[in-house]
């Protein structure tokens, strides 16, 4: 019974989420920022990376055309301790600040979070 309730909640959440996307959102880019803190994580957490990149399909299912979905993954393997050398993060902040983003999704896998999985 808990599986049915869980499945129903997931379907409801996905349906509700799509109702939040308006034509105004769709006029701007869907931006997906992907980062893992270390090269070791990039090499060993392939399933996590696959799922993160798969979010492009979710953005498409919410109404964005593929050419309007942008993935920023320049910071893979870079620590989040400082934004100074994270060009992908700087690009993300710039685009959000300039109002160019209708939807943003930030995927970061840090060592701290990984310990709680």
What's the distance, CA 46 to chain centroid? 16
CA quadruple 93, 110, 67, 63: dihedral positive or negative?
negative
**Which tokens in the block code for residue 68?**
């309007």
Q: Which residue has the tokens 């109002």?
A: 99
Backbone angles phi, psi at 108, to 5 degrees: -125, 135
Which residues form the catalytic set? 37
- Among candidate residues 114, 99, 79, 84, the one with its CA nearest the CA of residue 31: 99
């Amino acid at each position: 019974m808990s599986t049915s309730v869980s499945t129903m909640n997931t379907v409801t959440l996905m349906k509700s989420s799509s109702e939040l996307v308006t034509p105004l959102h769709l006029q701007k880019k869907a931006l997906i920022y992907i980062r893992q803190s270390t090269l070791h994580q990039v090499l060993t957490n392939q399933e996590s990376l696959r799922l993160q990149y798969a979010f492009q399909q979710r953005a498409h299912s919410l109404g964005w055309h593929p050419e309007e979905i942008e993935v920023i993954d320049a910071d893979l393997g870079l620590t989040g301790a400082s934004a100074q050398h994270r060009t992908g993060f700087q690009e993300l902040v710039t685009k959000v600040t300039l109002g160019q983003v209708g939807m943003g999704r930030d995927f970061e896998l840090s060592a701290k979070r990984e310990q709680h999985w």
